Chains A and B, each alone.
Chain A
Amino acid sequence: MKLMINKVVQLVVVLLLVSIGTFALTSLMPGDPATAILGPDQPAEAYIELREELGLNDPVLARYFGWLGHALQGDLGNSLVTPFRSVNELVGGAFPVSFQLAAMGLIISLAISIPLAMVSARRPDGAIDRAISALTFGILAVPSFVAGLILIALVVNQLNIFPRTQWIPFTENPLDNLYHAALPAITIALAEVPTFTRVLRGDLVSTLQEDFILSARAKGMPAWRIMIFDAFRPSSYSLITVVGLALASLIGSTVIVETLFSLSGMGSLIVNASYVGNVTVVQGAVLVIAVCYVLINAVVDLLYAVIDPRIRRATT
């Protein structure tokens, strides 16, 4: 229990520091933020108005707490460039797209890497194992934007299987939505496959040397049954750790994939805002992403205890 409280306190401190860091972005801007955002040749009133909008005339602490107060009440301010929509609206529209892409990417990458790891672990150092390990090592060196471009060149342009750009909301037509999201999700998934496969393969190989596997074999269980029902669960702890860590790179991949496939998710929102110096949008989006990421990681931490009884005993 004490450990739980400790964790929650740490979580709150981290989130507070993230909010300070996000807020401080404006002060990192060289020179006057208003000039940096609007560019040099605008009417003087525009600068004054923007300085008011950014609250640059108030002391720093007042500005920070004002911003944080609004953010906590769910108001992230307004976009600084046309169309001057509220950041909430922008983030609200973009978030489901990114979330779905990341979730699909994670599921697809697990669906690829778990069978690959099982096939590899069946005969360590065999021909198949070596081929798979060479393949994953190669994929590891392909950045996701290159992978995406290759997929577009091969699958979209040559084979015409998947459409390239367009996003159909899930609520409108679930099947069409999945169909359109498939290629971006595969691009995201590819980046994670090497790590997942290697980690799970390593653990499976050592689990397969345990006595209970021998007894299962002695009972005459087929190999695939042993692999899935006996060996997988005790080998999955490191995989869960790595999945938790992979969330950051998953989010990074969604940024790239959204730009590549022109989808309007959080990533393209941030990139476009960043390009024109639209700080409030960047701040709002970064804050939302960071909060989600920290909370998901906290959930992953709890998941360990559910899956691995040893940890449950150690912490309570």
Chain B
Amino acid sequence: MPQHETRRPLAAPKTTPIPVSFEKPRKNFHVDLLLWFCILWLGAIVLAAIFAPLLPLAEAQDASKTLMEPTNQPPFTVPGHPLGTNGLGLDIFARLIYGARISLTVGVAAVAIGMAVGAMLGTSAGYLRGAWEAVIGVLTNTLLAVPALILLIALSTVLRPSVVSLTFSLALVASPGLIRLARANTLAFTQREFITVARALGAKPGRVILRELLPNVLLSMMSLSFVYISVLIVAEASLGFLGVGIRQPTPSWGNMIAEGLGGKMEQYPHLVFIPATVLFLTVFSFNLLGERMRKRWDKREVSL
């Protein structure tokens, strides 16, 4: 790059317009390492969560079995408890893995349900238009009128918080955004030739929606799924932290972090910072993967 270029005080207009994008212009080895770290982390968490019952883990839930165990031990001090123990002598490592089961199940299942519902409603609203679109529009606006966390807390007031009720509550919270996204995508796809062709060949609306629109809409929504998973994992953890999500003694990352409240964090910082780090890494990984997927997908769209 010539010397005068670097000294410019502002992004100066060049003779050839430079496309504006968030993307970095060249491949960066360092960044790829980060991506692989995230994939490895998520892979490890997922595998541990799936095979949790088969792993030789110490007691995670039943405090009556840990009466003899040391309590509030920091990591790497007691043999058999790699990440230490909590106030009841329960093994933090085991609780993290069982917490991962809940976080991942709830997050992934809620996004899957939200996507299925959102794609169906959004696509049909965008293709059929008219009264159906108006009804769906008002319903999404109504769901969006209550801030997500407030809606979740309100639901958990009346539903006993469990993995199933949380999954459906989170799916409900995720769906309005997904419905809007599906509808917007449908409006764009409906202008394309393959829809015109399908209609010219006599395809009924049901067939156009199911066979032509849905696969395309779902594909474009996929790139957002990871970001949604990370948002819902945070929401689930927030509920657990507030005490209105999964309740003790069942471990969830949120209620584990809440164990450090009430002055315990000052004495035993590991109670808070171990689950907080795991939560951070997981959310970060999902975000990063989602970001990369979005870029990948955007490129594909451009090349079409």
| Chains A and B bind each other | yes
B3-29 CB mask vs A (1 if < 8 Å, else 0) is 000000111110001101010110000
In the bound complex, residues from chain A placing their C-beta under 8 Å from that of B145 are 14-15, 18, 290, 293-294
Residues in A260-289 with C-beta less than 8 Å from chain B: 260, 270-271, 273-275, 277-279, 282-283, 285-286, 289
User: Mostly helix, strand, loop or mixed at chain A's interface?
Assistant: helix
Asked if residues B157 and A274 are in contact (CB atoms below 8 Å), the reply is yes
Q: For the complex, is B191 an interface residue (Cβ under 8 Å from A)?
A: no
In the bound complex, residues from chain B placing their C-beta under 8 Å from that of A13 are 138
Most buried by B among A25, A146, A149: A146
Residue tally, chain A, CB below 8 Å to B: 74
Measured between C-beta atoms, what is the minimum distance from B225 to chain A in Å?
A: 17
With A123-B11, A274-B156 in contact, is A18–B146 under 8 Å at CB?
Answer: yes
Asked if residues B284 and A145 are in contact (CB atoms below 8 Å), the reply is no
The size bracket of the interface on B is 35 or more
A207-242 CB mask vs B (1 if < 8 Å, else 0) is 011110110010000110011000000000000000
Measured between C-beta atoms, what is the minimum distance from B237 to chain A in Å?
A: 6
With A141-B287, A279-B158 in contact, is A217–B22 under 8 Å at CB?
Answer: no
Measured between C-beta atoms, what is the minimum distance from A152 to chain B in Å?
A: 8
Most buried by A among B138, B150, B230, B243: B150
Measured between C-beta atoms, what is the minimum distance from B184 to chain A in Å?
A: 14
Residues in B166-194 with C-beta less than 8 Å from chain A: none
- Residue on A nearest B283 in the bound complex, by CB: A141
Asked if residues B154 and A293 are in contact (CB atoms below 8 Å), the reply is no
**Contact of A28 (CB < 8 Å), options: B139, B158, B276:** B158
Asked if residues A10 and B9 are in contact (CB atoms below 8 Å), the reply is no
In the bound complex, residues from chain B placing their C-beta under 8 Å from that of A92 are none
CA of A61 to CA of B150, assembled, Å: 25
CA of A14 to CA of B20, assembled, Å: 38
In the bound complex, residues from chain B placing their C-beta under 8 Å from that of A226 are 10
The stretch of B83-91, B92-100, B202-210, B265-273 in contact with A is B265-273
With A141-B280, A290-B146 in contact, is A211–B20 under 8 Å at CB?
Answer: no
In the bound complex, residues from chain A placing their C-beta under 8 Å from that of B254 are 145
Q: For the complex, is B142 an interface residue (Cβ under 8 Å from A)?
A: yes
**Contact of A270 (CB < 8 Å), options: B18, B24, B142, B154:** B154
Asked if residues A25 and B265 are in contact (CB atoms below 8 Å), the reply is no
Asked if residues B11 and A153 are in contact (CB atoms below 8 Å), the reply is no
B136-151 CB mask vs A (1 if < 8 Å, else 0) is 0011011011111111
Extra pairs beyond A122-B9, A122-B11 (4, CB < 8 Å): A217-B9, A251-B149, A286-B146, A289-B150
A-B contact count (CB 8 A): 172
Q: For the complex, is B45 an interface residue (Cβ under 8 Å from A)?
A: no
Asked if residues B11 and A279 are in contact (CB atoms below 8 Å), the reply is no
Residues in B264-304 with C-beta less than 8 Å from chain A: 265-266, 269, 272, 276, 279-280, 283-284, 287-288, 291
- Residue on B nearest A124 in the bound complex, by CB: B11
> Taking beta carbons and an 8 Å cutoff, which residues of A are in contact with B?
10, 13-15, 17-18, 21-22, 25-26, 28-30, 36, 121-125, 133, 137-138, 140-146, 149-150, 152-153, 157, 198, 202, 205-206, 208-211, 213-214, 217, 222-223, 226-227, 247-249, 251-252, 255-256, 259-260, 270-271, 273-275, 277-279, 282-283, 285-286, 289-290, 293-294
Measured between C-beta atoms, what is the minimum distance from B283 to chain A in Å?
A: 4
Q: Could you list 15 examples of A-B contacts with CB < 8 Å?
A: A14-B145, A140-B287, A146-B279, A146-B280, A149-B265, A214-B12, A223-B9, A249-B149, A251-B149, A252-B150, A256-B238, A278-B157, A282-B154, A289-B147, A294-B145
Q: For the complex, is B121 an interface residue (Cβ under 8 Å from A)?
A: no
Most buried by A among B22, B265, B266: B22
CA of A279 to CA of B158, assembled, Å: 8
**Contact of A271 (CB < 8 Å), options: B244, B266, B276, B279:** B244
Asked if residues A213 and B153 are in contact (CB atoms below 8 Å), the reply is no
CA of A248 to CA of B156, assembled, Å: 18
Asked if residues B20 and A149 are in contact (CB atoms below 8 Å), the reply is no
With A13-B138, A146-B257, A275-B243 in contact, is A289–B157 under 8 Å at CB?
Answer: no
In the bound complex, residues from chain B placing their C-beta under 8 Å from that of A275 are 243-244
